[in-house]
Structure 1
Amino acid sequence: MKPTPKLPLPRRARGFTMAELMVAVAIGLLILAGMTSLFVRNSRAQAEIEKANRQIENGRYGIDVITADLRNAGFYGEFDPTPLGEPTALADPCATALAAIKVALPLHVQGYDGSAPGCISDVRSGTDVLVVRHTRACTTGSADCDDVDGPLFQASLCSTELAMTTIPENWFQLDTDVSKLTRTARDCTTAAVTRRFLTHIYYVANNDKPNDHIPTLKRAELQLVDGGLQFVPVSLAEGIENLQLEYGIDTNGDGKVDMVSADPTNAVDPTVAAGCSAGSCGPRNWHNVLTVRLSLVARNTEATLGYTDTRQYKLGHKADGSEYVQAAANDSFKRHVFQSLVPMPNPIGRKQP
């Protein structure tokens, strides 16, 4: 009889030693630290990309909005304002009386070099202000012409009304009361079409919302509010901290720019360019502005940790012809310059043979 084989004794269960456990925990912590560091770096990189995208988007949008408005400057539908001539004095861009708005109509653009008119507030020190005047391209009541209320412009096409050359009101009418818009079409019977008259004042504000310290490109729009005309501020693009303007002036009436900012008699401020004063040839210079050069600085709306902006930014020229240089801010905001030279086809076309 064979002996019964002995069954193997069960192996005694063994756990990790303290040394093994410590090594495993250390390796795990190293892996976790590496993954956390990678996640933080990726998050910061993504945040910086988003900041840069917003900065570029805001800068391009600011330039595009002003450029589009300038390309329409001086457009009054079927009406040619040339016979009105130039105003005898510079217009008040803040005027809301209809008579004053009519007087300002020949000045398709107007600007302020480092100062501002009284109807806008919180303007960033040292930045320029631009006023643009024109009517909308679409006619009132058309399907694609939804808009807020404001003054309406109506140009006459009736030969009888146009023959009364000594009375400008017979050439056009501008009013908020539709019943007073009585100019007619070519048949001298049918009412002429109307268009919304626009006065836009572009400026850089210190804040988007009160005390948020985000410099913002804004536009004050002439609107009809509670039965009266007033300028209503509208935010356009956050992070815009500087706007500088230069103008090209036609001094001899041939439809070509003769005076620009690079010349000794520059046109940074047509009010006083070439020795003019507001009461002498200042209105004539503004009346003859054909181009506008825009220089705009867009800044991130949020600071970048560990970054210092030590760069300077060239933004065209000063009144003495030297370069305008924005000094280094030495802060943690990243910046970019956007520039554009904008010809205005409406006043240019009226001057050319």
Structure 2
Amino acid sequence: MKLFNQRGFTLIEWLIAIVIGLFLTAGIGSFLVASQRTTESTYHSEQMMESGRIAMHLITRDLRMVGFFGEYTGNPMVRGSGVTLLATDISAANDCVIDWVGATPEGSFPSTDGRFSALFVGQVNAANSLDGQYTCVSSRSDLITDSDVIGIKRVIGSPIQSAADLDEDRYYFAANTASSQIFTKDDTWPTEVAMPGRQVWEYQHIVYYLDVSAQSGLPVLRQLYLDNNSGMQILGSGPLVEGIERMRVLLGVDTDTSKDGVINDFVAASNVSPQQWSEGRVIGAKVFLLVRSLTEDQNYTNENSYELGDVSVAAANDHYRRALFESVVSLRNMVY
């Protein structure tokens, strides 16, 4: 019987195998770490994109329809002259009020002095204030300083066909080309005989603002809406969208001597004159949203600065990723 000699690996062969194994392990480890970082970065980016798209869609959708009042669009919004208030008025404590100097304070419903603001844009300053306007927002804690507040009045949804379809928590706007009424389910339904050619819509006053959530510590977008039982109420049990860190709105103004319906400049709301408002020269809006990731990425340091129109926002060298969204909206119903 023939015997064969058997031998194992030499020490050099073992060392070579170990070195090759270490290189392979290090390469796989580096790949896994890079893959994890890429996954985290992608997750944060997708998270911001989704939050930004939802927030921008909600705001611009309402801005496009600001000042739309069905068949009555383009007519004077004056209580007692063209607009009849059948519903009980809302107390100032439960409303969002603009306290115009030398004029009747204007809440959700048209006032008697002819000043009606379908659109309000104000900026929260360091004193948590809106220059005395919209106490429904400025009275709240944790507002984000230097961010804008947007108030929008309009009718929403589709025309309502029957009194049976009315909701007791909502206000409604019935109008034809000559007159209008604001009423609730408890008021008289405007018949075709009483108001020929009328349409009935839900009347809404919507307010968008940013604050820091007491529960999560995140910057969030919130919405107030008009409720028949309690005035202006926060929509939902939580924030509308999380991660919205800053909101800025510039208004597009037709500044030509002869109004031609073309935007000449985008300016802060504080730089729009009362005459420009009354002449219907505010015909567009440019919306900026700075969106922040909900969690930190320790492998990333944000040293960027973001330009929100006329405002620059620095990231303060933190570990949050951010994205800037911008959209331009045409305001087609802003003439009264």
Counterpart of 2:2? 8
- 1:127 aligns with 147
Percent of aligned positions with the same letter in both sequences?
A: 24
Question: 1:197 matched to which residue of 2?
Answer: 203
Q: How far off its partner does 1:246 sit?
A: 1.6
2:233 aligned with 1:256: no
Instruction: For 1:326 and 1:131, locate their aligned partners in 2 and report how far apart those are by CA, in whole Å.
Output: 23
Partner in structure 2 of residue 232 of structure 1: 234
Alignment partner of 1:102: what SS?
coil
Which residue of structure 1 lines up, in the alignment, with residue 100 of structure 2?
A: none
Q: Secondary structure at the match of 1:347?
A: coil
Whole-angstrom distance in 1 between the partners of 2:166 and 2:222: 18
Deviation, 1:74, is 0.9
Alpha-carbon deviation of 1:13? 6.2
Task: Confirm or deny: 8 A CA contact 1:132 1:201 kept in the other structure.
Answer: yes
Q: Following TM superposition, by how much is the alpha carbon of 1:184 offset from its aligned partner in structure 2, in angstroms? A: 2.6
Amino acid at match of 2:180: F
Show the 5 A alignment for 1:36-185.
36-80=29-73, 82-85=75-78, 95=95, 100-103=107-110, 106-114=116-124, 115-116=129-130, 117-120=134-137, 121=140, 122-140=142-160, 150-157=169-176, 171-176=179-184, 178-185=185-192
Opposite residue 133 of structure 1, the aligned amino acid is: K
Structure 1 residue 218 displacement after superposition: 2.0
Per the alignment, in what secondary structure is the counterpart of residue 313 of structure 1?
strand
Distance between the aligned counterparts of 1:218 and 1:172, measured in 2? 30
Q: Which amino acid aligns with 1:236?
A: L
The aligned residue for residue 345 of structure 1 is 332
- Cα distance between partner residues in 2 of 1:223 and 1:283: 31
Counterpart in the other structure of 1:320: none
Distance 2:175 2:313 in 1: 48
Alpha-carbon distance between aligned partners in 2 of 1:189 and 1:310, rounded to the nearest angstrom: 61
Partner of 2:320: 333
The change in CA–CA distance for 1:285 and 1:54 in structure 2 (over 3 A counts) is: farther
Aligned residues: 300
User: Is the Cα contact below 8 Å between 1:81 and 1:106 reproduced in 2?
Assistant: no
Deviations, residues 7-32 of structure 1 (Å, cap 9, x unaligned): 224x5766556765565455434323
- Preserved CA contact (<8 Å) 1:109 1:289: no
Question: TM-score, normalization: structure 1?
Answer: 0.70
How far did 1:193 drift? 4.5
Gaps of 5+ in 1: 1-6, 163-170, 262-266, 275-280, 318-323
The CA distance in 2 between the partners of 1:194 and 1:253, in whole Å, is: 36
**What are the Cα deviations for residues 260-296 of structure 1, in whole angstroms up to 9, with x where unaligned?**
44xxxxx5134x645xxxxxx4895597632222122
Letter in 1 for 2:233: F
Q: Kindly name which structure, 1 or 2, has the bigger radius of gyration based on alpha carbons.
A: 1
The aligned runs of 1:202-213 (5 Å cut-off) are: 202-207=208-213, 210-213=214-217
> 8 Å contact 2:95–2:231 — kept in the other structure?
no
Q: What whole-Å deviation, never above 9, does each CA across 1:118-139 have from its counterpart, x for those lacking one?
A: 3233311111100011111412
The structure-2 alpha-carbon separation of the partners of 1:24 and 1:53, relative to structure 1 and needing over 3 Å to count, comes to: same
Find the aligned partners of 1:156 and 1:173 in 2 and give their Cα distance: 6
User: Quick one: which of 234, 241, 247 aligns to 2:245?
Assistant: 241
CA–CA distance in 1 between the matches of 2:174 and 2:261? 27
| Residue aligned with 1:290, SS | strand
* 1:325 partner SS: strand
In the alignment, is the contact (CA less than 8 A) between 1:110 and 1:130 conserved in 2? yes
Aligned with 2:248: secondary structure?
A: strand
Please tell me whether the aligned partners of residues 222 and 232 of structure 1 are also in contact (alpha carbons under 8 angstroms). no
